[in-house]
Each structure stands twice: as C-alpha cells, then as structure tokens.
Amino acid sequence: MVETALVNWSRLQFALTAGYHWLFVPLTLGLAVIMATMETLYVTTGDEFWKRTAKFWMKLFAINFAVGIATGIILEFEFGTNWSNYSWFVGDIFGAPLAIEGIFAFFMEATFFAVMFFGWEKVGKRAHLAATWLTGIGAAISAVWILIANAWMQHPVGMEFNPDTVRHEMVDFWALVLNPVAISKFFHSVFSGWMTGAIFVIGISCWYLLKRRETRFALASIRVAAIVGIIGTFAVMFSGDSSGVHAAKYQPMKLAAAEGLEDGGPRAPFSIVPGVEIPAMLSILATHDVDGYVPGINNILEGYTTPDGVYHLSAEEKMERGKTAIESFSAYRTLKDSDPAAAAMARQRLDENIEYFGYGYINSKEELIPPVPLIYWAFRVMVGLGGFLLLLMAVVLWLERRKRLADMRLVQWVALLSIPLVYLAGQAGWIVAEVGRQPWVIDGLLPVNAAVSSVSVAAVQTTFWLFVAIFTLFLVIEMRIMIKAIKLGPNIETE
C-alpha cells in the first residue's frame, strides 16, 4: 500500500510547481498579443511613439518569459521523479504532445524571441513585426500541446491498454489532438492570458497616471490592453460554457463538486452562494436544456439512470469491475506462456472491464469525492473576479475614450490593486480543473495512489522546501527587475 504521506507530499510539490509556473504563462500569452498590436500600429503609422511603447512592454515580457521557462522545465521533470508509475503507464501517449511542444513550439518561440528582442535595428520593420507576432504564436502553440496533454488526463481518448507491455499505447493521434476537452481548455487558458496581460498593462499604466508621468504612453497602453482584454474575457466566457458542458458529460463529479450539488436531477439549480440558487440554471449551463439531467454527488456514488434510460454504474460496481480487471490482468500475465487458452479468457475479461481498471485501486467510495468546499469557492472566486475585471476594463476604456481617466484617481488605484486579482482568478480556475478531478491523475483510469514514484517521503519533503525557496527567489528577483524597469519608464531604449 502506498504511503498516504508520500502521495500527499508528491501532490503538494506538483501543485507548488504548477502554481508558480502559471504565474508566468498567462502574462506571456497576454503581453505577446498586446505588444504585437502596438508594434503593428508602429509599422502601419510610422509613429515612433508606438515603437517606444512596444519596446517597453516587450522588456517586461522578456523578464517574465525567462523566469517562466525555468519553472516549466522543472514541472515536466517531476513527471519522471515523482510520478514514474504514471510516466511508465501512459508515457507513450502523454509524452507525444510534450515532445512536440519541446521540439517545435518551444524552439519556434525561442528563435523568434531572439529576433524580436535583439533585432530592432538589425532587420526590417516588417520582418521584426513578423518575429514579434510569431513569438506570440509560438507561445500559443506551446500552450496547445501542453493543454492537449492535460486534457487527455481529464478525458483520456485515442489509446488501448497493452497487457504485454503494461502500458496504454496511442492508437489514434488525431483523437488525442481533437479531444473536445483540449479544444475548450486551449481557448479558455489562452484567452484568460489575454485578460491577465490586459489587467497587468492597465494596472501598470494607471501607476504612471497616479505619478502624473508618461501620460500619453499610459493612456494609449490602456486603450490597447482594454480592447484586447475585453475580447479575451468574452472568449473566456464562451469557452467556459463549453468546458461546463464537457465537465457534465465526461467529469460529472467535478461539476457536482463545483456546485456543491449533493442530489441532482432534471432542472438542477445553480448555486450563487450557499442558500441562494437560480432554479434550473445548472441544467441550462451543463446541458443547454432547461430539463437536462445533472447528477449530484450522491447520485454518482449510488448509481443513477438518466431520463433516456441510460444507467450509470455506482461507485461500488465500478470498484468491483476494477478489481476484476486487475485480477484478470494478473491472470493473463501468469498464464500467457503456460496456458494460452486460459490467458485468452483472462484477456477477454480484462478487455471487458478495462474502462474501470483504475477503480480497482480505490478502497472506499468516499475517496471519489474531491474536496467540495475548496472547489465550490474556487469556482466562485474565478467567476466573480472575472466579472469584476471585465467591468473594470470596460470602465477604464470608456473613461479613456472620453478623456476622463487621467483625472480619476480612485479608478486608477482600483486598476493598480487589481493586478493580483487576475492572478488569483487564474489560480482558482486551475484549482477547479485539477483538484476537481481528484483522486485521479487520469480521470477514471489511474488514481494518484497508483501513479506515484517509489521514493521516500523525506526526499519529496526536502525537494518541496527547496523548490519553495528557489521559486520564491525567482519571483522576488522577477518582481524587483520589473519594478526597476517600470520606474525607469518607457523612454529607456532597449537595444
């Protein structure tokens, strides 16, 4: 039996690394679009002002980009160090998109980054503009492959289990790439980066307004960022809707936990906060049907039948079939050389129950319930802050267009202080996505207690605190460098 402390510390270490990494990724995605838009204005108008503006935000982009790479590399290494059973079990599938990301997207991103940052006076205007856009496109392509890998963990498709190699092996690459969960997750994550970049630029620009300096630069930056951010926010809302539908279809426990829904059914209500509900709204959001059936936590555990007559197994039934799959797998491995006929029968039982293989490692149905309060409130933090930030961007854009923003100090302070809120919203979203599918590393296929490496708890604890120190140092260094660059202002040339 895997030691509980080992599983928990391994999960905590991965959460720490992923959480730190996601501090840098969304700003990279958002700033890439904003600074490329500004450079486009420079090339089309010939106004040197837009060149200086683009170069300033490009400098902050470069600082953030460098630190983000370091945390991302460590994150990928942890699959081998802390989750080696997972890496062995599904490495043929999970490794493919990560390899493509490293070979193609990352090298594309890094190559054009060099031209973008160092090539202002070395290549032509249009060539440099193309490098800037391609840097941003490379960052998005990089996100595509990482999110394809993550989406496969949420909704595994395109593979078959090979009992001879004890591995899941890819049989349909395009099923992996076109996984509907991956498509929604990509748009949701990338456009949330647009929001992050927009709020960051708006907040920093408002700092200049509070200091009554660089006014033209600040107002122009706010105008571009607010437009990008508003577009991004509406795209986040649209992709979030499809994510909800996919959760209802493929991960009903996650949806039930996010809503704190114990007993579901048709016309399920949406909980705004405990005790305040909108009748039938959850059914509309999850199924696009006011009478749509949405199972609750108890329904999922006890088994339920949808109005169209489809029966969904109870947790005990899935656990029993999972144990049958494990026993059949063991029998096949034992008998395949000595008794081929018996091995074939065992293989048939394995194939019939392989869908529930992971449930054989679950000891109690209560293990299948993720931490409901955390997911419930994380979802509301994400949605609530998203609505507030959309309103903020609309207000600052409206005030800027009417030439009133430069005098609205309260709004400027609100915008500046909202920078941490957009990061909080992003972190809350990932809590819903990742904690919401616990206890699974791969939803319904491999639980965390079967995926962890055989290492000592002390080793994981030591590296956890080492990473806390290193990542915190990275963050402090980045913030100090950024603050210094911001204080110097946009008139400093970046050659």
- Residue-wise pLDDT for 167-223, tens only, equals 999 999 999 999 999 999 999 999 999 999 999 999 999 999 999 999 999 999 999
Cα dist from 15 to 2, 20, 468, whole Å: 19, 8, 11
Note the pLDDT of residue 79. Answer: 86
Note the pLDDT of residue 2. Answer: 64
Note the pLDDT of residue 74. Answer: 83
Answer for the pair 19, 430: CB distance below 8 angstroms, yes or no.
Answer: yes
* 366 occurs within a structural domain: no
Examine the fold and report which residue of 329, 358, 387 is the final residue of a domain before the chain moves on. Answer: 358
* 350 occurs within a structural domain: yes
Whole-number average pLDDT of the chain: 93
Q: Is the pLDDT of residue 373 over 80?
A: yes
Query: How confident is residue 251, by pLDDT bands cut at 50, 70 and 90?
Result: very high
Q: Is the pLDDT of residue 139 over 70?
A: yes
Let me know whether 289 and 412 are in one domain: no
Residues spanned by the domain of 295: 265-358
Examine the fold and report which residue of 304, 325, 358 is the final residue of a domain before the chain moves on. Answer: 358
* 85 occurs within a structural domain: yes
Let me know whether 185 and 297 are in one domain: no
Note the pLDDT of residue 108. Answer: 80
Let me know whether 29 and 159 are in one domain: yes
* 495 occurs within a structural domain: no
Q: Give 230-233 contacts, CB < 8 A, sequence gap 24+.
A: 230/198, 230/390, 230/393, 230/394, 230/397, 231/194, 232/30, 232/191, 232/192, 232/193, 232/194, 232/195, 232/198, 233/191, 233/194, 233/195, 233/386, 233/389, 233/390, 233/393
Let me know whether 277 and 173 are in one domain: no
Average pLDDT (290-304) is 96
For 74-130, what is each residue's pLDDT tens digit? 888 888 889 999 988 888 898 888 888 877 777 787 789 989 989 998 999 999 999
Let me know whether 225 and 318 are in one domain: no
* 493 occurs within a structural domain: no
Average pLDDT (298-302) is 97
Q: Is the pLDDT of residue 274 over 80?
A: yes
Share of the chain above pLDDT 90, in %: 82
Let me know whether 173 and 231 are in one domain: yes
* 372 occurs within a structural domain: no
State how many domains the chain has. Answer: 2
Note the pLDDT of residue 75. Answer: 82
For the chain, the first-to-last Cα distance in angstroms comes to: 59
Q: Is the pLDDT of residue 466 over 50?
A: yes
Average pLDDT (386-407) is 97
* 260 occurs within a structural domain: no
Let me know whether 319 and 399 are in one domain: no
| Token reading at 464 | 């956890």
Let me know whether 351 and 422 are in one domain: no
Average pLDDT (52-62) is 95
Let me know whether 280 and 159 are in one domain: no
Note the pLDDT of residue 493. Answer: 41
Examine the fold and report which residue of 358, 385, 402 is the final residue of a domain before the chain moves on. Answer: 358
* 279 occurs within a structural domain: yes
Query: How confident is residue 494, by pLDDT bands cut at 50, 70 and 90?
Result: very low
Let me know whether 115 and 231 are in one domain: yes
Share of the chain above pLDDT 70, in %: 99
Average pLDDT (439-463) is 93
Let me know whether 337 and 388 are in one domain: no
Let me know whether 246 and 314 are in one domain: no
Q: Is the pLDDT of residue 495 over 50?
A: no
Q: Is the pLDDT of residue 378 over 90?
A: yes
Note the pLDDT of residue 111. Answer: 84
For 8-46, what is each residue's pLDDT tens digit? 999 999 999 999 989 999 999 999 999 999 999 999 999
Contacts of 449 by beta carbon, 8 Å cutoff, 6+ apart: 2, 4, 7, 361, 439
